[in-house]
Amino acid sequence: MQTAAIQQGSERETFRPAVRKALLVLCALVVCGDVSGFTEPPSAKKSAVRSQEQRRYPALATFTARYLNNHALMDAKFGRFALAEHEYQEALAILKEIGEEDRVTVIYLSNLANLYQGMGQYAKAEPLFQQALVIQKTVAGEEHPDTGTSLDFLGMLYRLMGQYAKAEPLLQQALAIRKKVHGDRKRHV
């Protein structure tokens, strides 16, 4: 039975690049109206984020990152944590290469940090939650509800780590933002 699972996993790994290539070619056709020069999916190359296709078609890079993030969500849900970790990291590398530092980056950072948190790897999760919070404050502002969510993520991580002195001010800030945005409605506060 274990051999079947291993064989199934290896078949999946050989099948994935073909699916990824088909999706990327389709995206290139839809977004750019042309697939000339497109040869293989960026993930199949040694350095996905430096591929000619991604420099030529930034929309392809964004699409690839979104695809990887969404695939990582599913892999994490089904317990394939190492694969999910790799896909999140690849998605973040793509965004970094094309210079994206926006709410999407915050989401991908938080997803990877939540994966690490769920695996009990708090030391890996902490800098990612911190980076997500810094970007979120820059992009959305100090009082935005999404900033409150980022504060909440970091505060809850510190609570899990037993670092209550660090957790409390972050959680209080998150609560204050929620109260300001939603009032005293119990569902949001």
Q: How far apart are CA 189 and CA 182, in angstroms?
A: 8
Q: How far apart are CA 74 and CA 127, in angstroms?
A: 23
Note the pLDDT of residue 183: 78
Q: How far apart are CA 32 and CA 152, in angstroms?
A: 40
Q: How do residues 96-138 score in pLDDT, each as one tens digit?
A: 888 878 899 999 999 999 999 999 999 999 999 999 999 999 9
What is the separation, in whole angstroms, between the first and last Cα of the chain? 49
pLDDT band at 19 (very low <50, low <70, confident <90, very high): low
Mean pLDDT of the chain: 79
H runs (alpha helix) in 33-118:
52-56, 58-77, 81-97, 103-118
pLDDT band at 78 (very low <50, low <70, confident <90, very high): very high
Q: How far apart are CA 91 and CA 69, in angstroms?
A: 6
Q: What is the DSSP letter of 90?
A: H
pTM reported for the whole predicted model: 0.72
Task: Answer yes or no: are the C-beta atoms of 5 and 11 closer than 8 Å.
Answer: no
